[in-house]
Amino acid sequence: MTDHWGVGRAIFGGKTVEVPCTVEIERTADYFFANAIPEGIDLRPGDRVLVHGAPDRIEFGEKLAFATTATVYLAGPLERFWTRWSALFELTELYHCGFEPKEAAA
């Protein structure tokens, strides 16, 4: 792997790893989901995963499960810190929900 970032890459972004990946996709009347499970690596905050070979569309009633590969972009220390820090503020948005009587909303 050629590293063009040098020291900056070590601070902002970590290394890139190719791993096997299991993909499950279902589009039926009961379920609508897609799961990609990278194998042999622990994902941490800030890491990004790019799955290769996944279909861009499946028809209604289909259920797929297949093995492929994924590129995992491991976050560096600064990116990991930023992800954790900003997640705290994203989480607090969930606290700002409440129930008001209809009269107050109008």
Tens of pLDDT, residue by residue over 5-33, are 445 555 566 789 999 999 999 999 999 99
Q: Which amino acid is at 106?
A: A
Please give the pLDDT value at position 18: 96
Residue with the larger pLDDT of the pair 89 and 75: 75
Beta-carbon-side half-sphere exposure of residue 74 (alpha carbons within 13 Å): 14
- Spatial neighbors of 40 by CB under 8 A, at least 6 apart, are 19, 20
This prediction's pTM: 0.66
| pLDDT higher than threshold 60 for residue 92 | yes
| pLDDT higher than threshold 90 for residue 98 | no
Distance CA 99, CA 10 (A): 46
Domain spans, the chain: 7-105
Q: Do 21 and 68 form a contact (C-beta atoms < 8 A)?
A: yes
| pLDDT higher than threshold 80 for residue 82 | yes
